[in-house]
Amino acid sequence: MRSITSRDNPAVKRLHGLATSARDRRSVGQTLLDGAHLVRAALDADWPLRELVVSDQGLAREEVAALVRRCEKLAQLHLTDALFAHVSPVDTPSGVLAVIDLPESAPLEVFDDSLLVLDGVQDAGNLGTILRTAAAAGLRDVLLTAGCAQAWSPRVLRAGMGGHFCLRIHEQVEVAQVLKNYAGQILATGLGAGARIVYDCDLRGPVAWLFGAEGRGLSAEVAALARGMVVIPMPGAVESLNVGAAAAICLFEQVRQRRTSGPA
Task: Provide the residue type at 163 as one letter.
Answer: G
What's the CA gap between 38 and 196, in Å, rounded? 38
Q: 211 has which bridge partners?
A: 118
Task: Check if the beta carbon of residue 97 is closer than 8 Å to that of residue 40.
Answer: no
Q: Which of 154, 155, 144, 143 is nearest to 120 (CA)?
A: 144
pLDDT tens by residue, 173-220: 999 999 999 999 999 998 777 899 999 999 999 999 999 987 788 999
Rg, the chain, Cα only: 20
pLDDT by position in tens, the chain (length 264): 999 999 999 999 999 999 999 999 999 999 999 999 999 999 999 999 999 999 999 999 999 999 999 999 999 999 999 999 999 999 999 999 999 999 988 788 889 999 999 999 999 999 999 999 999 999 999 999 999 999 999 999 999 999 999 999 999 999 999 999 999 999 999 877 789 999 999 999 999 999 998 778 899 999 999 999 999 998 887 777 899 999 999 999 999 999 987 544
What's the CA gap between 8 and 170, in Å, rounded? 36
Q: Where are the beta strands (DSSP E) in the chain?
A: 2-4, 30-34, 51-55, 75-79, 96-101, 115-119, 141-144, 168-170, 185-189, 196-197, 207-212, 228-231
pTM of the model: 0.92
| pLDDT value at residue 72 | 94
Is domain 115-261 classified as CATH 3.40.1280.10? Answer: yes
Domain layout of the chain by residue ranges: 2-101, 115-261
Residue 161: how many other CB atoms lie within 10 Å: 17
Please state the three-class secondary structure of 83-138 as a single string.
Answer: HHHHHCCCCCCCCEEEEEECCCCCCCCCCCCCEEEEECCCCHHHHHHHHHHHHHCC
CATH assignment of 2-101, given 3.40.50.300, 3.20.20.150, 3.20.20.80, 3.30.1330.30? 3.30.1330.30
List CB contacts of 62: < 8 A, sequence separation 6 or more: none
Task: Provide the residue type at 93 as one letter.
Answer: P
Task: Check if the beta carbon of residue 116 is closer than 8 Å to that of residue 90.
Answer: no
